[in-house]
């Protein structure tokens, strides 16, 4: 049976741990670095006040406003993988706890896969059950426009067999009408958005599914999973437990133009959990003993699986799975001042090994992946 309420301190600690092993930095740590330079009194377009009943869009909008104030500038060269929560140490936890995971500045399907994998790990830890991951793609602007026309034809042709409220809604918001038809279980012949994807959107969606399959991440295709409004595009996904949605995520690159002069690609996910209202203790940050850096698809796929092994063994290790540039990964490892680097390229991934480098002496040791947990635990 799914846990109905979870102590806020447990949520915070587990979110920290998952973020660490999958390479998500707490927003609080990034904003602390920009303290004193934050912009104030920023005006936002009126469109941001008309997000309707899309609570996830409201949450993401609030997150982007925070990023805007501290003048984040993610890019494909230097993407930002960030996690955030409304739990504040030293204060009573809110009645509804929110944990967010975001990949900013990268359009690679790997970013979506990292978010889904991290969200899955966090949900398993918190709910003590196996969530169902449901995935679909609404495509880019071109696709959404084409799909909207198909939905319009659907509601016109089947007006006599659909509930009146669906037909009335279709004249105002075609995507909301589609969601309503799905909820009323009368969408058997509803057209699927994946049948109308542009070439670029189809390639991106196929890349994501390949990452999930190659890393043995369980998922199911959900042709009736719809994202509506002008916030979301391309991939959308949800995590379901006991028939109840506990998390929602999507690509939302077009939405960033409301907050930044140079819009960038972005994917985010929001996990919402009932809290207990308890006061959360402040914890001191810890330095990671190992920084895991990797390059190439083979190494990235292995790093997905190793993240869980390292986390369960409580190895003091962090990595940045979603960042493709080896240079940027080494730069982040340098900032963390980890005494050791664990390095994996294509050659090592194919051979089933990794290189352990002592940053002080530059001494390197090749470690087989079989038994690597015990070897890292023995490093002094």
Same domain, 98 and 240: yes
pTM metric for this prediction? 0.91
CATH of the domain at 28: 3.30.930.10
Domain assignment present for 199: no
Q: Do residue 256 and residue 369 come from a single domain? A: no
Tokens of 87: 């739990």
| Among candidate residues 274, 301, 318, the one where a domain is terminated | 274
Take residue 318 and report the two structure tokens written for it. Answer: 């962090």
Over the Cα atoms of the chain, what is R_g? Answer: 22
Whether residue 50 is contained in a domain is answered as yes
| Measured torsion, CA atoms of residues 364, 365, 370, 375, in degrees rounded to the nearest 10 | -100
Q: Determine phi and psi for 28, rounding to 5 degrees.
A: -60, -35
Same domain (yes/no): 179, 31? no
Cα(220)–Cα(86) distance, integer angstroms: 30
The distance from CA 119 to its chain's CA centroid, rounded to whole angstroms, is 7
Poorest-pLDDT segment among 128-132, 185-189, 192-196, 313-317? 185-189
11-30: average pLDDT: 92
- pLDDT more than 90, % of the chain: 56
Question: How far, rounded to the nearest angstrom, does the alpha carbon of residue 337 sit from its chain's CA centroid?
Answer: 26
In a domain, 84, yes or no: yes
Q: Where are the alpha helices (DSSP H) in the chain?
A: 8-22, 27-33, 55-69, 109-127, 141-157, 164-170, 174-183, 199-214, 297-313, 326-336, 346-351, 372-377
- Asked if 363 and 315 sit in the same domain, the reply is yes
- pLDDT tens for 317-359 read 999 998 888 899 999 999 889 999 999 999 999 999 999 999 9
| Position 257 in a domain | yes
Q: State the CATH number of the domain containing residue 342.
A: 3.40.50.800
Q: Which residues contact 166 (CB under 8 A, 6 or more apart)?
A: 155, 177, 180, 181, 184, 186
Instruction: Let me know whether 111 and 224 are in one domain.
Output: yes
Residue 208 falls within a domain, yes or no?
no
| Mean pLDDT, residues 204-221 taken together | 94
pLDDT tens digits for range 32-86:
766 655 566 566 655 565 566 788 999 999 999 989 888 888 888 889 999 999 9
What average pLDDT does the segment 130-149 reach?
92
150 in the same domain as 131 = no
CA distances (Å), 41 to each of 32, 44, 65, 73, 349, in order? Answer: 19, 10, 11, 19, 49
Task: Report the chain's mean pLDDT, rounded to a whole number.
Answer: 88
Q: Which domain holds residue 154?
A: 141-193
The answer as to whether 201 is a domain residue is no
113 with 154, same domain: the answer is: no
* Whether residue 222 is found in the same domain as residue 79: yes
Say if residue 21 is in the same domain as residue 79: yes
Same domain, yes or no: 78 and 98: yes
162 & 24 share domain: no
Rounded distance between C-alpha atoms, residue 115 and residue 102, angstroms: 7
Structure confidence at residue 248 as a pLDDT band (50, 70, 90):
very high
Into how many domains does the chain fold? 3
- Residue 209: which of 305, 139, 112, 124 has the closest Cα? 112
Q: Give φ, ψ of 103 to 5 degrees.
A: -120, 115
**Inside any domain, residue 206:** no
Looking at the chain, the whole-number percentage of residues with pLDDT higher than 70 is 92
Distance CA 73, CA 260 (A): 8
Strand partners for 366: 355
| Angle (nearest 5°) at CA 360 between 370 and 295 | 50
Residue 222 lies in a domain: yes
Provide the pLDDT for residue 52: 64
Q: Are 193 and 139 in contact (CB under 8 A)?
A: yes
- Residues 95, 147: one domain? no
For the cut 60, the answer to whether the pLDDT of residue 155 exceeds it is: yes
């Amino acid at each position: 049976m799914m846990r109905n309420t979870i102590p806020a301190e447990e949520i915070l600690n587990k979110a920290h741990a998952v973020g660490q092993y999958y390479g998500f930095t707490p927003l609080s740590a990034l904003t602390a670095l920009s303290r004193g330079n934050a912009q104030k009194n920023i005006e936002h377009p009126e469109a941001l006040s008309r997000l309707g009943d899309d609570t996830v869009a409201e949450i993401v909008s609030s997150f982007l406003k925070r990023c805007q104030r501290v003048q984040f500038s993610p890019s494909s060269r230097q993407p930002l993988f960030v996690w955030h929560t409304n739990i504040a140490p030293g204060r009573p936890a809110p009645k509804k706890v929110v944990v967010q995971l975001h990949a900013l500045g990268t359009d690679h399907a790997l970013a979506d896969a990292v978010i889904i994998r991290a969200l899955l790990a966090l949900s398993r830890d918190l709910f003590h059950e196996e969530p169902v991951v449901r995935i679909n793609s609404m495509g880019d602007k071109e696709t959404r426009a084409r799909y909207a026309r198909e939905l319009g034809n659907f509601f016109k042709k089947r007006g006599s067999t659909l509930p009146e409220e669906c037909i009335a809604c279709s004249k105002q918001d075609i995507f909301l009408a589609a969601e309503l038809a799905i909820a009323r279980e009368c969408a058997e012949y509803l057209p699927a958005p994946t049948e109308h994807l542009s070439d670029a959107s189809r390639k991106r969606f196929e890349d994501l599914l390949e990452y999930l399959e190659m890393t043995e991440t369980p998922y199911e295709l959900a042709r009736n999973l719809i994202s509506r409004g002008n916030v979301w595009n391309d991939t959308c996904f949800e995590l379901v437990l006991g028939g109840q949605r506990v998390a929602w995520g999507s690509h939302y690159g077009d939405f960033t133009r409301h907050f930044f002069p140079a819009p960038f690609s972005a994917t985010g996910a929001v996990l919402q959990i009932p809290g207990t209202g308890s006061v959360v203790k402040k914890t001191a940050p810890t330095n990671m003993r190992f920084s895991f850096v990797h390059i190439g698809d083979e190494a990235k796929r292995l790093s997905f699986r190793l993240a869980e092994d390292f986390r369960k063994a409580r190895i003091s290790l962090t990595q940045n799975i979603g960042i493709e540039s080896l240079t940027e990964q080494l730069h982040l490892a340098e900032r963390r001042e980890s005494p050791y680097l664990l390095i994996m390229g294509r050659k090592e991934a194919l051979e089933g090994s990794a290189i352990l480098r002592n940053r002080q002496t530059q001494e390197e040791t090749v470690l087989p992946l079989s038994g690597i947990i015990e070897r890292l635990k023995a490093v002094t």
